[in-house]
Amino acid sequence: MKGHHIASGFLGSGMVEYVLRVIRLTVAVLLVAAPASAWAGLVNDVPSCYAATHIAPPAKPYAHLIYILMDQTVKLPPALEQSAVNNALRMLKPGTKFVIAEFSAFSQGHFLQVVHTGIVEKPLAPSRIGSTSMVAARHLNVCLGMQYGFARKMVATSMASIMKSSTSSLDQSDIMIAMKTVAPAIARDPAAQKVLFAITDGLENSSVTTFYGNGTVRVINPAVEMGKAIRNHLIGNFGGASVYVLGGAVMPPAATGTLAARNGYRDPQALINLKDFWRQYFAKSDGRLMEFGEPALVEPVAYPKTH
């Protein structure tokens, strides 16, 4: 309460507006400069508003995690690209950590890497308002609004950039090893609600196995493919995270083969078996496959419901 009385007593309305303009400018400079860090992607790329306003942060700065894993070997049509971005942006809310990572096959130079990590901070808890300077609290609210817009722009532009550089011409796609690699980070994260949003065709094409045949998706045997995954130690641990896949079995029309293949037709049994394989894979990896878009999602990506 003391801080509140001091701020109210010495700052008139004109001075408060001046201070707000200064902090807007200061935060804007911080936000623009943030991604230039040498640690970009590995640490929080979104500047903290609590640090900027010198207010002690919440003990738990976020409760939600959205991990966006993007397959560079998949070229999505524009409608699916927009759907991917829209689903990701829907997941951003106060108290959310986001991670954007990309992968294809190490041998082609498109190795798995985290592009951005950020935290959209929670607003000041009601129980702390009375003990926080009114001016500082106003500054925090202004900053949080700017932070939210900055985080949305970072997610949208990063995803658009990755999708723009993606191509269907890459020969290999190491999907299972990418899944296993990111799983520990998801499992260890302290967020109460975790979602893996994978943008991939789900068509493994590696030294372990391939889901292709005659230039199109083949009808795999899920049990046989799971055996290969287990024998090659490609099972991860997602710590109970919910999983959504967008882009399942999406492929450019074939240049040769039957008319159906050239028109991009997918055998329904091939789609059923592909989905069944990934359901088994995530179940074995302590993940819950909520939806496998073939290729579009019927239900939007969402955090698990709390009871």
For residue range 69-113, list pLDDT tens digits in order: 999 989 999 999 999 999 999 999 999 999 999 998 665 566 789
- Say if 144 falls within a structural domain: no
CA pair distance 41, 47, nearest whole angstrom: 13
Structure tokens at 209: 């196995």
- Say if 64 falls within a structural domain: yes
Tell me which of 306 and 143 has the higher pLDDT.
143
pLDDT digits (tens, 9 = 90+) for 32-43: 544 444 445 668
- Say if 150 falls within a structural domain: no
- Say if 59 falls within a structural domain: yes
265 — pLDDT class (breaks 50, 70, 90): low
* Cis peptide bond N-terminal to 295, omega within 30: yes
Residue of 213, 214, 216, 202 whose CA lies nearest to 174: 202
CATH number of the domain residue 169 falls in:
3.40.50
- Say if 77 falls within a structural domain: yes
Domain span at residue 119 reads 39-125+155-292
- Say if 11 falls within a structural domain: no
Tally of structural domains, the chain: 1
Rounded to a whole number of angstroms, the CA Rg of the chain reads 23
Average pLDDT score over residue span 267-287: 96
From 87-96, 143-152, 158-167, 207-216, the region with the lowest mean pLDDT: 207-216
- Say if 247 falls within a structural domain: yes
- Residues forming beta bridges with residue 51, ordered by sequence position: none
- Say if 119 falls within a structural domain: yes
Q: Is the pLDDT of residue 134 over 80?
A: yes
